[in-house]
Structure 1
Amino acid sequence: MAELVGPRVYSCHHCRNHVCLHDDIISKAFQGKNGRAFLFSHAMNVVTGAKEDRQLMTGLHTVADIHCRDCREVLGWKYEKAYEESQKYKEGKFIFEKAKIVQENW
C-alpha cells in the first residue's frame, strides 16, 4: 500500500489507510448515499468495483463504487461516464463520502 506523505491527508475511517489528499478536492458541495461528499481529482489505495448506471441528483451516470484496498469498506464511487454535457467534468473523478473518511496529519 502506498502511503501519502505531506499535510492534510484523508484516510479510510475504518482502517486508517491513506486514500486521498486535501489538495485534490475539487468540490465539497456533493451529496453521497449517506450525507455530504467531496469530489476529488485523484484517489489512491482504493479498488474500483463493477461499473453500473445510476440515476443521481444530476442525471444518469455510469459509476463504479470505490473500496478501501485494505479493509474493503465502500468509501464512495468513481464517475466513469456522464451522459449530460454539463456533467462531463466529473468523468474520471472520485466521490468520497465525508462520513467514510477522516483527516490525518492536520
Structure 2
Amino acid sequence: MGRVFAVTLEGKIYSCKHCGTHLGLNEDILSKSFHCRHGKAYLFNKVVNVTFGEKEERMMMTGAHTVADLFCVQCGSIVGWKYELAHEKSQKYKEGKSVLERFKILGPDGNHYWVNHEAHVGGSDTDDI
C-alpha cells in the first residue's frame, strides 16, 4: 500500500478578516508590492471562496482596466478586485489575476493588517485615484 502524507496549510493561508473564510494561499501570490488607496495589497494568481461583482472600467495608476470587485462568499465583504482586461499593453500580465487588499484580510500567521491612512500610492497599481 502507498503512504499517506498529511498536508498542512498552517502559516500559508490568507483569510477574510470578518469571517475567517480562506481566500488564498501564500504560494499563489505573484506580487506583494501592490498599493491601493487604502495601503498595500497582494496580486494573486488564484483566489478562492469569492464571488464577482459587475465588470466596470476603472482608471488606475497604471492606466485603464476593466475590473470586477471580489466579495467573500461567506460574509459578503469586499476583499479586493479581479483584473478582467488591461487596456495598456504593458499591463496585460494582470489579466485574470486578483488583488486582495491587506487591510481586508488576515495574514497567514493570523495577524490583521491595518489601513495606512498616509499610504503613498506610487506603487504597482492603485484603486481609483
Normalised TM-score (structure 2) = 0.75
Tell me, yes or no, if structure 1 residue 46 matches structure 2 residue 47. no
CA distance in 1, matches of 2:27, 2:36: 20
Partners of 1:21 and 1:88 in 2: CA distance: 23
The superposition leaves residues 3-38 of structure 1 with CA deviations (integer Å, 9 ceiling, x where unpaired) of: xx6231000000000000011000011112311000
Aligned residue pairs: how many? 102
User: Unaligned stretches of 5+ in structure 1?
Assistant: none
Greater Cα radius of gyration, structure 1 or 2: 2
Amino acid in the other structure paired with 1:13: K
The CA RMSD over aligned residues, in Å, is 1.3
| Structural mapping, 1:11-90, within 5 Å | 11-90=15-94
Q: TM-score, normalised by structure 1?
A: 0.91
Q: Is the 8 A contact 2:26 2:108 kept in 1?
A: no
| Structure 2 gaps, min length 5 | 1-7, 111-129
**Cα deviation code 1:32-90 (max 9, x no counterpart):** 23110000000000001000000001000000000000000000100000001100000
Q: Is 1:6 paired with 2:9? A: yes
Structure 1 residue ranges (4+ consecutive) displaced by more than 6 angstroms after TM superposition: none
Q: Distance in 1 between matches of 2:89 and 2:68?
A: 20
Q: 1 or 2, which has the higher strand percentage?
A: 1
Distance 2:36 2:101 in 1: 6
Q: Measure the CA separation in 1 of the matches of 2:77 and 2:26.
A: 20
Overall identity of the aligned pairs, in %: 49
Query: For 1:88, what is the secondary structure of its paired residue?
Result: helix
